[in-house]
Amino acid sequence: MKKTSVNCKALLDEFNVKYFHEKLFSWWKDHKRVYPWRFEKDPYKVLIAETFLHRTNSSQVEKIYKDFIKKFPEIKSLLKAKKEEILPLLQSLGWRWRQELFNKMILILREKYGGNIPLNYKELKSLPGIGDYIAAAVIIFTLNTPLPLLDSNIVRVTGRLFCLKITDSSRRSRLFRDYIYCFLYKNDPRVFYYVLIDFAALVCKPKNPDCNKCPFENICCFYNRHREGSHGIN
């Protein structure tokens, strides 16, 4: 996702962003989820994980990720493999609609990039099956670069905290991109996004969020609106 020029002081003027960061990181100490692709800095492994996670529950990915990496520990071994060796490992992810994209991606990584994963946004995004989210995620999680990152969960937390109307297209909107970029803890983007994703999954859930466990209960726009009964779940 592209970096944007935005006046963060104006955008988040009424919020104490540092306070949010402290509370979130503090919460995360006791609640962080452990996945084999977490803190992985090998672009190949991050790309594989994020590709698998495409519209797929993380517990499903967890079941096959280690076996996949064990069989193809580096991109060279994957590039040498035949489709018939790869696809059976991915069947449980529901890959009929993604396997062709995955095959094309492997082909391009081999033919155009010589087995090196390009670590810039534009080239990553040009790969089949790689869009805004995965391109940014690969860069952020390998290089710890402060880029905006929006998936449905980050959208939900950001929208609720800052009173933004959430729609299906929020993850592609300029407004949300600006907000998450301003909200981002620039000193450690990688961990910031791990924190936010876990917080979204465990507390700020889509349905029945645990607002009583949330450190932002008092200042969360969503919570206060909901309590007043003027709006439904956003």
Partner DNA sequence: GTCCCGTGAG
Partner DNA sequence: CTCACCGGAC
CA dist 155 and 214 (Å) reads 17
Among 32, 40, 60, 188, indicate the residue that binds DNA (CB under 7 A): 60
Q: Which of residues 188-217 bind DNA (CB under 7 A)?
A: 194, 197, 201, 206
Residue closer to DNA by CB (options 59, 212) is 59
Please report whether residue 135 would count as binding DNA according to CB under 7 A: yes
Instruction: State how far the alpha carbon of 21 is from the alpha carbons of 16, 27, 158, 165, 182, in Å.
Output: 9, 10, 13, 22, 12
For position 146 contacting DNA by CB under 7 A, the verdict is no
Which of residues 92 and 116 has its CB atom nearest to DNA in the complex? Answer: 92
**How many chain residues are in contact with DNA, going by CB under 7 A?**
41
Check: CB of residue 105 under 8 Å from CB of residue 48.
no
Taking CB under 7 A as the binding criterion, the range among 3-11, 48-56, 65-73, 78-86 that sits at the site for DNA is 48-56
Which C-beta is closer to DNA: that of 8 or that of 188? 188
Q: Which of 152, 144, 147, 146 is nearest to 54 (CA)?
A: 152
Q: How far apart are CA 88 and CA 101, in angstroms?
A: 16
Residue window 77-116: x/- pattern of binding to DNA, with contact defined by CB under 7 A: --------------xxxxxxx---x---------------
* Closer of 8 and 110 to DNA (Cβ): 110
Decide if 181 contacts 8 (C-beta within 8 A). yes
How many angstroms separate the Cα of 205 from the Cα of each of 30, 52, 192, 229?
18, 22, 18, 19
Per CB under 7 A, the segment of 6-14, 30-38, 40-48, 182-190 that binds DNA is 30-38
Is the CB of residue 3 less than 8 Å from the CB of residue 147?
yes
Residue type, 148: P
CB of 32 to DNA, least distance (A): 10
Q: Tell me the closest approach of the beta carbon of residue 190 to DNA, in angstroms.
A: 11
To which residue do tokens 């592609």 refer?
A: 172
57 binds DNA (CB under 7 A): yes
Told to check if 234 binds DNA by CB under 7 A, we report no
- In terms of CB distance, is 12 or 202 closer to DNA? 202
Closer to DNA at the Cβ: 77 or 233?
Answer: 233
Question: Measured between alpha carbons, how far is residue 170 from residues 37, 55, 121, 230 in Å?
Answer: 26, 16, 20, 22
Distance CA 91, CA 129 (A): 17
Kindly list the residues in this chain that would bind DNA in the complex (CB under 7 A).
Answer: 33, 35, 37-38, 50, 53-60, 91-97, 101, 128-135, 137, 151-153, 167-169, 171, 194, 197, 201, 206
